[in-house]
């Protein structure tokens, strides 16, 4: 039975906020913008806490990589039921370049250090939509992975995972230790209520630097430019098929 679960939580711009590109096209405006926990990370935390409540695992550790404000995200995870938190401090230019490769290196290092037997992550973050961290972490640790999980059941030394795939649902059985990534229908996350937020203030959040874990943060990618999507142009209605073909020919499409 897995004892310790690591849950990754990411602080992202809230999904309802209208994103604005910086005037110098180097990125999006984040200063003062409302942020919250990535919705898939909320589902991951909920799953971990549910497993603890069923007494199938012993401890839930919430991890976040980012600047000072990431601690708020960890606090929310603690309020949902995580036992303690680890804040891996990454700020400034390093934070701007932080991507799935570096985060998975960090998580792999932490999993070894904390002797975790299970890592649960959201399937992707809503800001970069990478969908890579879970898979890369599993590869670095040489652990099996159960991604896009919509149902998770812990058995003797294995985990049965029902995965959401293009054709429908796929059920697999993997050995522990393993990495799982949560999809939308896995569960409905609980609210972080005020009494729990108050109690969460007493739970510990450890502060760690990537260098302490021996992780190199240099990025293999360089963002050249960020642009808004092009304005949608008005459509056109045509009366007959001949008109349609004519217009397509004019536009050089046929």
Partner 1 sequence: IHPRDKDSRWEGIEMERFADEADVVIVGGGPAGLSAAIRLKQLANEQEKELRVCLVEKAPQIGAHTLSGACLEPSALFELFPDWKERGASISIYVMTPKHQDTSPLNHGNYIVRLGNLVRWLGEQAEELGVELYPGYAAAEVLFHEDGSVKGIATNDVGIAKDGSPKDVFERGMELHAKVTLFGEGCHGHLAKQLYKQFNLRENCEPQTYAIGLKELWMIDEKKWRPGRTEHSVGWPLDRHTYGGSFLYHLNEGEPLVALGFVIGLDYSNPYLSPFREFQRWKHHPFIASTLEGGQRIAYGARALNEGGYQSIPKLTFPGGLLIGCSPGFMNVPKIKGTHTAMKSGMLAAEAIFPKVTAESLDSETAGLHVPEYSESLKSSSVWKELYAVRNIRPSFHNYFGLYGGMVYTGIFYWMLRGKEPWTLKHKGIDANQLKPAKDCKPIEYPKPDGKISFDLLSSVALSGTNHEGDQPPHLTLKDDSIPVARNLAIYDGPEQRFCPAGVYEYVPMETGDGMRLQINAQNCVHCKTCDIKDPSQNINWVVPEGGGGPAYNGM
Phi first, then psi, for residue 179 (nearest 5°) are: -115, 130
- CB nearer to partner 1: pick between 36 and 181: 36
Paired with 5 in beta bridges are: 60, 118
- CB nearer to partner 1: pick between 45 and 116: 45
Q: Smallest distance from the beta carbon of 35 to partner 1, in angstroms?
A: 8
Strand ranges in the chain using DSSP code E only, listed in sequence order? 4-8, 11-13, 35-37, 59-66, 84-89, 118-122, 145-154, 158-165, 168-175, 178-182, 205-208
- CB nearer to partner 1: pick between 29 and 139: 29
Closest CA to 122 of 52, 215, 189: 189
Q: Smallest distance from the beta carbon of 112 to partner 1, in angstroms?
A: 35
- CB nearer to partner 1: pick between 52 and 190: 190
Q: Smallest distance from the beta carbon of 201 to partner 1, in angstroms?
A: 9
Reported as type and span, the H/E element at residue 244 is helix 241-250
Q: Smallest distance from the beta carbon of 3 to partner 1, in angstroms?
A: 27
Contact set with partner 1 (CB under 8 A): 14-18, 20, 23, 31-34, 36, 188-191, 193-195, 197-198
- CB nearer to partner 1: pick between 18 and 220: 18
> Mind giving me the DSSP string for 94-147?
HHHT--HHHHHHHHHHHHHHHT-SEEEEES--TTT----HHHHHHHHHT--EEE
Burial class (CB in 10 A: 0-12, 13-18, 19+), 185: middle
- CB nearer to partner 1: pick between 31 and 227: 31
């Amino acid at each position: 039975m897995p004892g310790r679960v690591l849950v990754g939580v990411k602080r992202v711009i809230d999904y309802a906020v209208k994103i604005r590109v910086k005037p110098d096209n180097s990125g999006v405006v984040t200063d003062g913008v409302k942020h919250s926990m990535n919705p898939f990370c909320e589902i991951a935390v909920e799953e971990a806490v549910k497993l603890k409540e069923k007494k199938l695992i012993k401890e839930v550790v919430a991890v976040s990589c980012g600047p000072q404000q990431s601690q708020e995200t960890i606090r929310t995870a603690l309020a949902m039921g995580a036992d303690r938190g680890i804040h891996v401090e990454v700020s400034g230019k390093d934070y701007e370049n932080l991507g799935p490769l570096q985060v998975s290196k960090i998580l792999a290092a932490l999993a070894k250090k904390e002797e975790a037997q299970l890592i649960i992550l959201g399937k992707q973050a809503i800001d970069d939509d990478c969908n890579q961290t879970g898979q890369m972490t599993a590869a670095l640790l040489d652990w099996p992975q159960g991604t896009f999980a919509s149902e998770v059941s812990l058995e003797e030394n294995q985990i049965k995972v029902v995965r959401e795939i293009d054709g429908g649902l796929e059920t697999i059985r993997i050995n522990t230790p393993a990495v799982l990534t949560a999809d939308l229908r896995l569960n409905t996350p609980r609210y972080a209520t005020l009494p729990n937020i108050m109690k969460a203030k007493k739970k510990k959040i450890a502060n760690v630097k990537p260098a302490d874990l021996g992780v190199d943060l240099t990025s293999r990618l360089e963002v050249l430019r960020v642009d808004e999507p092009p304005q949608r142009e008005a459509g056109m209605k045509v009366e007959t098929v001949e008109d349609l073909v004519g217009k397509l020919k004019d536009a050089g499409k046929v």
